[in-house]
Structure 1
């Protein structure tokens, strides 16, 4: 598993996972077909039971869209459709992944990756986290961005393949076999669950 792990859930929100709301409906369909939400939910319960951190990386754009520029397709779509606005249903997690007491929600108002302009790094370091188990969406942009930035900051990264999704099976497989396998250890949810259940000394969360 790696030392001092935390579960990181990337962008599992209704405005991304609901095909009727998402600006990337192909991603929403792939996430549903791959069944990632229930697997992530089981991992989250295991992490909580083991006293290990669970972190939700959420998008919540300002209502005035301050900080967003049309310098990427994703930003342009978010501006055009006013998606993922703070306080709207778009930003809510699906019921299975609703943050629980003790979880941390790291909110991003702008940018494309989880560490950009957020408290994510500071919170992880305060918890003495050294290994990130990265789950969620998407393997096209957010997951590789999060993983690269984590490695640059000295974290170990583990990605359970059955807990992430991209916009198509082909694009998902390309990213998992290419970029992501170069920066992270690819695993699966059952392996992570077994490793979390194994007793490890001095693994309690530090506040």
Structure 2
């Protein structure tokens, strides 16, 4: 079995405000993440990376309290501004304890925009670790993960989607995005197969 070249696990937006939101806000996404046991599967994958001294990166949303730089030019932007969601220093931005972050993990925080590379040091973090392959996990397959995958492809990384470590707002939407968009950008595989291809 061919091993991945210099892989890192990149966990997208696994935060309390999305995994356990207030009623009505992202309820479909939270239900799908729970049904798919996303946190449990992702935690197992993260342990496998750490056991091999491979990077684990958490990409989180953490809006400024004054909302500086936030623009209501998308539904998600309007929702975040109106509901004051995912604000730094609030429980919304917390990463579930099962996922870390552990002392060896890296955290890339985004205050504005919709995707993990926008306005962050994520690319520099990865390149300084000599990373070549990104294994993507987390949420959501509607917006954040396709955006992350496309930006990573543009930067020359090889991309793997740990499909059973991801979720969207509906099962149908998730399947559609995986088959019709993410399949064009990533190698889609279950977490167990990812672990079998890790070096070290």
Return the match for 1:189 from 186, 191, 196. Answer: 191
Aligned-partner SS, 2:98: helix
**1:170 and 1:190 mapped to 2: Cα distance?**
23
- Alignment match, 1:48: 50
CA gap 1:41/1:84 in 2 versus in 1, 3 angstroms: same
- Alignment match, 2:148: 146
CA gap 1:22/1:50 in 2 versus in 1, 3 angstroms: farther
Structure 1 stretches of 4+ with a deviation exceeding 3 A read none
Deviation at 1:25, TM superposition (A): 1.2
CA gap 1:21/1:84 in 2 versus in 1, 3 angstroms: farther
Q: C-alpha deviations, 1:2-24, integer Å up to 9, x for none?
A: 31000000000000100436731
Q: How does 1:91-130 map to 2 (within 5 A)?
A: 91-130=93-132
Return the match for 1:59 from 55, 58, 61. Answer: 61
**2:21 and 2:81 mapped to 1: Cα distance?**
18
**1:52 and 1:22 mapped to 2: Cα distance?**
37
Q: How does 1:14-53 map to 2 (within 5 A)?
A: 14-20=16-22, 23-53=25-55
Q: Structure 1: which 5+ residue stretches go unaligned?
A: 200-207
TM normalised by structure 1 equals: 0.93
Is contact 2:4-2:197 (8 Å) kept? no
Q: C-alpha deviations, 1:14-65, integer Å up to 9, x for none?
A: 0010043673111011000011101100111110110100000000000000
**1:26 and 1:10 mapped to 2: Cα distance?**
17
RMSD: 1.1
Deviation at 1:187, TM superposition (A): 0.4
**1:144 and 1:2 mapped to 2: Cα distance?**
21
Number of equivalenced pairs: 198
Q: Structure 2: which 5+ residue stretches go unaligned?
A: none
CA gap 1:129/1:45 in 2 versus in 1, 3 angstroms: same
Is contact 1:61-1:110 (8 Å) kept? yes
Is contact 1:15-1:21 (8 Å) kept? no
- Alignment match, 1:166: 168
